[in-house]
Amino acid sequence: MLDINFIRDNLNIVKDAITKKHLKVDLDELVRLDDERRKKQQAVDALREEQNTVSRNVATAETPAIRQQLITEMKSLKIDLQQHEEDLKKIMIDWQTRMLQVPNVPDLSVPEGKTDEENQSIKKWGDVTTFNFTPKDHIELMTSLNMLDLDRGVKVHGFRGYFLRGAGARLSFALWQYALDFFTKRGFEFMIPPMIVRKENFYGTGHLPNDAEDLYMTQDDDYLTGTAEVPVMGFHRNDILDKNELPKKYLGFSACFRREAGSYGKDTKGIYRIQEFYKFEQVVLCEASHETSVLFHEEITKNAEDFIQTLGLPYQVVLNCGGDLGLGQVKKYDIEVWVPTAKKYRESHSSSYFHDFQTRRFNIRYKDADGKMRFAHSLNNTAVATPRILISLVENFQQADGSILVPEVLRQYMGTDIIR
């Protein structure tokens, strides 16, 4: 959430941000409503002060007649105040709804564009894998090795259901164990957060209200989390952090649930676009400095790149265009790993920073060196998501006989160097 004063003072900048992110937000109506909110708040404050004054005068009234006159005046003021408070409450509901729709301002380096097809490749690592045989896709490979069962997954779960079994399940655990060791060695505190989360946390991260159709809701109006970012950010809700303890660096692990609404007809086969999966997420809280946010953005992106490099997977980094940014994101990189049978790179990681957009909603603050209260800055990045990463891993490491080499860094966790 942006500060309303920032919005009013930088109206054209925020309007440009709305245009760049290809959103529809009536900023002029928000400002008009904010004017109404301020006037009504002033009226309410004035009536409350007047009521307090009359109340004090009742206590010191010189005669019963004067006291009765003041009591009558108080009753009239009370009725008037209640009406103004009710009007203010209605205005506030509309004002808050509109405030939640205002996007963060993208960094100047964010390119123009409407969809992910207009993201810009800025880096490639590794040579794309070539074979002297016809490679199999991940479905054929994993099914033939009893690593994956999609038919029974659909039977039990429904559309997009899957079972990981045998070496497929163990390969996921190997990746989790390796990720835990890898990222905690880089200073991240491991955390397993709740996966059923109150809705205010989704408003805090910016996933609500816009992503509502992609979330699973419980009968108690809570939600199943689609990323550990949401509960990990909620961990410090309403906290005042010690500046000397910044940055806070967390590695959150959770099951994730997404309805994949709006993806009808996309990736209907395999385990790329599924409704339940597991993910490690890097989450960082740092000082309220653009330069500091940029440094940590590059750091957490490099962490993910280094992780992929140790697995030996070719990848590219893309800079997301304005239309492919979320509501709160200032800047975002996607990391896309090479999928041989698709003959293209496909997204496996994303890395974003938000300035104080999320922390303002969560009310996460700290005192700076001058004793001034500031909202911290927040960042997040995928450490590894399974089973999606398995697609690239098994396809790139397949052998002519249908077996799969296990990347060297995972062998100690798998207990084998090849899956047959």
Task: Map the chain to HEC letters.
Answer: CCCHHHHHHCHHHHHHHHHHCCCCCCHHHHHHHHHHHHHHHHHHHHHHHHHHHHHHHHHCCCCHHHHHHHHHHHHHHHHHHHHHHHHHHHHHHHHHHHHCCCCCCCCCCCCCCCCHHHCEEEEEECCCCCCCCCCCCHHHHHHHCCCEEHHHHHHHCCCCCCEECCHHHHHHHHHHHHHHHHHHCCCCEEECCCCEECHHHHHHHCCCCCCHHHCEECCCCCEECCCCHHHHHHCCCCCEECHHHCCEEEEEEEEEECCCCCCCCCCCCCCCCCCEEEEEEEEEEECCCHHHHHHHHHHHHHHHHHHHHHHCCCEEEEECCHHHCCCCCCEEEEEEEEECCCCEEEEEEEEEECCCHHHHHHCCEEECCCCCEEECEEEEEEEEEECHHHHHHHHHCECCCCCEECCHHHHHHHCCCEEC
CB atoms within 10 A of CB 402: 14
Residues 166 and 131 in one domain: yes
CA-CA-CA-CA dihedral for 211, 213, 215, 219, to nearest 10: 130
Residues 386 and 273 in one domain: yes
Residues 80 and 224 in one domain: no
At position 281, the amino acid (one-letter code) is: E
> Is pLDDT at 315 greater than 70 in this prediction?
yes
pLDDT (0 to 100) of residue 263: 65
Residue 342 lies in a domain: yes
Residue 186 lies in a domain: yes
Residues 87 and 213 in one domain: no
Cβ-based burial of 135 (10 A; exposed 0-12, middle 13-18, buried ≥19): middle
Residue 105 lies in a domain: no
Q: What are phi and psi of 163, to 5 degrees?
A: -115, 125
Residue 107 lies in a domain: no
- pLDDT class of 398 with cuts at 50, 70, 90: very high
**Active centre residues (catalytic):** 258, 273, 347, 350, 388
> Is pLDDT at 240 greater than 90 in this prediction?
yes
Q: Which one of 52, 73, 99 terminates a domain? A: 99
**To 5 degrees, how large is the angle CA 364–CA 3–CA 301?**
55
Alpha-carbon gap, residue 229 to 256, rounded angstroms: 10
Alpha-carbon gap, residue 189 to 250, rounded angstroms: 5
Mean predicted confidence (pLDDT) in 196-201? 96
- For the domain that residue 217 is a member of, what is the CATH number? 3.30.930.10
- pLDDT class of 148 with cuts at 50, 70, 90: very high
> Is pLDDT at 264 greater than 70 in this prediction?
no
Residue 291 lies in a domain: yes
Residues 413 and 273 in one domain: yes
Residues 131 and 159 in one domain: yes
Residues 92 and 137 in one domain: no
Q: Sign of the C-alpha dihedral, residues 58, 62, 63, 69?
A: negative
Q: What are phi and psi of 406, to 5 degrees?
A: -90, 125
- pLDDT class of 17 with cuts at 50, 70, 90: very high
pLDDT (0 to 100) of residue 53: 86
pLDDT (0 to 100) of residue 14: 97
pLDDT (0 to 100) of residue 262: 66
- pLDDT class of 197 with cuts at 50, 70, 90: very high
- For the domain that residue 35 is a member of, what is the CATH number? 1.10.287.40
> Is pLDDT at 266 greater than 90 in this prediction?
no
pLDDT (0 to 100) of residue 57: 83
Q: Which one of 51, 69, 99 terminates a domain? A: 99
Mean predicted confidence (pLDDT) in 307-328? 97
Q: Which one of 45, 66, 99 terminates a domain? A: 99
> Is pLDDT at 293 greater than 80 in this prediction?
yes
Per-residue pLDDT tens for 344-397?
A: 999 999 999 999 999 999 999 999 989 999 999 999 999 999 999 999 999 999
Mean predicted confidence (pLDDT) in 90-114? 96
Alpha-carbon gap, residue 270 to 137, rounded angstroms: 9
Residue 110 lies in a domain: no
Mean predicted confidence (pLDDT) in 84-102? 95
Mean predicted confidence (pLDDT) in 389-416? 97
> Is pLDDT at 174 greater than 80 in this prediction?
yes
- pLDDT class of 265 with cuts at 50, 70, 90: low
The parent domain of residue 308 ranges over 116-419
Per-residue pLDDT tens for 205-236?
A: 999 988 899 999 999 999 999 999 999 999 99
> Is pLDDT at 257 greater than 90 in this prediction?
yes
Per-residue pLDDT tens for 176-187?
A: 999 999 999 999
Average pLDDT, the chain: 95
> Is pLDDT at 189 greater than 90 in this prediction?
yes
> Is pLDDT at 162 greater than 70 in this prediction?
yes
Residues 244 and 334 in one domain: yes
* Overall number of domains in the chain: 2
Residues 121 and 236 in one domain: yes
Mean predicted confidence (pLDDT) in 99-113? 96
Per-residue pLDDT tens for 38-90?
A: 999 999 999 988 888 878 888 888 788 888 888 888 788 888 899 999 999 99
Residues 78 and 53 in one domain: yes
- pLDDT class of 1 with cuts at 50, 70, 90: confident
- Of the two residues 33 and 61, the one the predictor is more confident about is 33
Residues 87 and 137 in one domain: no
Cβ neighbors of 132 (< 8 A, separation 6 or more) are 400
Residue 104 lies in a domain: no
> Is pLDDT at 302 greater than 70 in this prediction?
yes
Residues 74 and 125 in one domain: no
Residue 106 lies in a domain: no
pLDDT > 90 in the chain, percent: 87
